[in-house]
A and B are shown apart, each in its own frame.
Chain A
């Protein structure tokens, strides 16, 4: 209801769809929308791929090693997201002593501005998410792989299939239910990106290059006091998440049984 009102901390009146019209005309919201979509596309694709690859590499190991690596990859998730974002802020610092620039320097490459430039900041934020191995996905994929029927692999081996062929034609298709679950969850999480931007680029800078929808909802509600407008943004985000989830369900819905 708030999204249909000009609500502030006190008062507010019904204004119909005016908040949504305001959003459509607001270049900063459009930029936040574009940044959020781009971030989600790249990060979700990368995280799913990474989780699948890492889980596949863990799978052939013995039970103890598998448990060790699952725990190892899951461990960063128990850290504070703010803390992790602060580490990434240092890694992508524009000064030569930032870790990313130190690495570039080791290869005799010129330092980059990373989060200090509106051209590179969003890429740095996306890279920070991509380079964080998705521990939850690794554990879920790994658990799902453990329950895949051995007979299918044995039959493929009899037919002369190699490791990569078995992975591509047996493992990946049979993991579709897990992939669908992770896809929906990771997409929603990516749409909600906030703390990474809040810490790494002081909330969307420079020049609004890294502003995202949730960051804009936060500042619109709690810094500008426009609760109605912030609610309208939240409604847009909700509709986006639902629409994408529906498409994902329809395209990946599987009748696979094993």
Chain B
């Protein structure tokens, strides 16, 4: 089989592609493409360019954060660049949309001009040569958070624009602290020992039989394994180091929480939605969740910031203050159309830059663009302006540990590390045994990723 452009496709490759498309189509609901804005006549000064932006969870007409902020972003961008037209394609969060991205970008070498992406995907697309390198000036480079820039670096080159850093931290129920006479951490700072002591005091049964737990997490992070200085990889991301003495010590601190029974008994299978619901229903005093929960609490009239709830840093271990977090990126797909590619970079810079926040805030009604602290210093200020709690979160970026990009990370994490961690938390293995057992397999998968 030969395409018009002379590229040969053998039958096996064609059938593989067809099967993969079939699987993705069968597994995922069809994402309705939607135009985010009307397309007035472009100005005479700039060449008219039409771009496609792929944004997970974008649903035309919906009021979800991804849709509202994306529509606002396009409106703000077009006010500055009227000759560019942007259409947005959505798709639910989850593997089916990930497949849609992979098939379009990796197999068809088509699809989005600009897209949102996360850690492992950046590496995957960069390795396939499908990302266009951002034309960053030296000043722009120094404007980005270094760890965020490292997370988007592939073979020494920055391959996407860091958008934001999403830190995890502790939400505290001030009513429960007051009820038990526990002093909230001053300025949000506490040591692990102070944290554990508070969690113990906050675990109690009321006279009506209602059980309150001092602490919960949604079983989706490794926060405690970092606080004594443990890190997953060495500096060059070549060696698995998550069985170091520091990582073992961190896991032991986590195990201590299970031993003290300050967490609900289903903590190993607690999912994010359930954990949030239980915090809101007053069953949990301290909950470890990322910044997006601030908006959830703000939307609830019963929860007043500073009166009923506050936020605090991760408890501090043996090393400097640490937090755990993820990074979101905006990427530009590599393509031969130079005009489109250049326009896509202009748009990507706008999406990650300092102008978009004020532009959207000035709209009627104002739109809160930054759902997490920006990964650029020049864009960081406005996130803190949205809310007093966010002003605190904005300062966490400096000590947030961002996971380096490793394409086999999800396999290391889900198949091996989480089960090992479960075994330690259940008391079936010591922290050292659990982490030592994972190390050889994790190293093999890391080597595979580095090939």
Residues of A in contact with B (beta carbons under 8 Å apart): 1-2, 7, 9-10, 28, 93-96, 111, 113, 115-118, 121, 201-203, 205-208, 219, 222-227
Contacts and interface: CB of A to CB of B under 8 A. Distances in A.
Interface of B: 12, 16, 20, 27, 95, 98-99, 102-103, 106-107, 124, 128, 211, 219, 264-269, 271, 408, 410-411, 414-416, 418-420, 422-423, 426, 428
25 contacts: A9-B99, A9-B102, A9-B106, A10-B107, A94-B265, A95-B211, A95-B266, A115-B269, A116-B265, A116-B267, A117-B426, A118-B268, A202-B219, A202-B269, A205-B268, A205-B269, A206-B419, A207-B422, A219-B415, A222-B95, A222-B98, A223-B95, A223-B410, A223-B414, A224-B414
A1 B415 contact: no
A96 B265 CA distance: 9
B264 to A, nearest CB: 6
A224 B428 contact: no
A94 B219 CA distance: 15
Contact of A118 (B12, B95, B265, B426): B426
A116 B266 contact: yes
B300 to A, nearest CB: 22
Contacts of A206: 268-269, 419, 422, 426
A118 B266 CA distance: 11
B207 to A, nearest CB: 16
Given A10-B107, A118-B428, A207-B426, A224 B269 contact: no
Given A28-B416, A206-B268, A206-B269, 17 more contacts: A9-B106, A28-B419, A116-B269, A118-B268, A118-B422, A118-B423, A205-B418, A205-B419, A205-B422, A206-B422, A207-B420, A207-B423, A207-B428, A222-B27, A222-B95, A224-B410, A226-B411
A29 to B, nearest CB: 10
A201 B107 contact: no
Contacts of A222: 27, 95, 98-99
Contacts of B268: 116-118, 205-207
Interface residues of A, dominant DSSP: loop
A207 B419 contact: yes
Given A222-B27, A224-B408, A208 B265 contact: no
A41 B411 CA distance: 29
B419 A224 contact: no
Most chain A CB inside 10 Å of its own CB: which residue of B99, B211, B266, B422: B266
Nearest to B411: A224
Contact of A93 (B128, B266, B410, B426): B266
B20 A9 contact: yes
Nearest to A223: B410
A254 to B, nearest CB: 38
Contacts of A28: 415-416, 419
Nearest to A116: B266
Contact of A224 (B16, B415, B420): B415
Contacts of B219: 202
A201 B271 CA distance: 10
B269 A201 contact: yes
Contacts of A203: 414
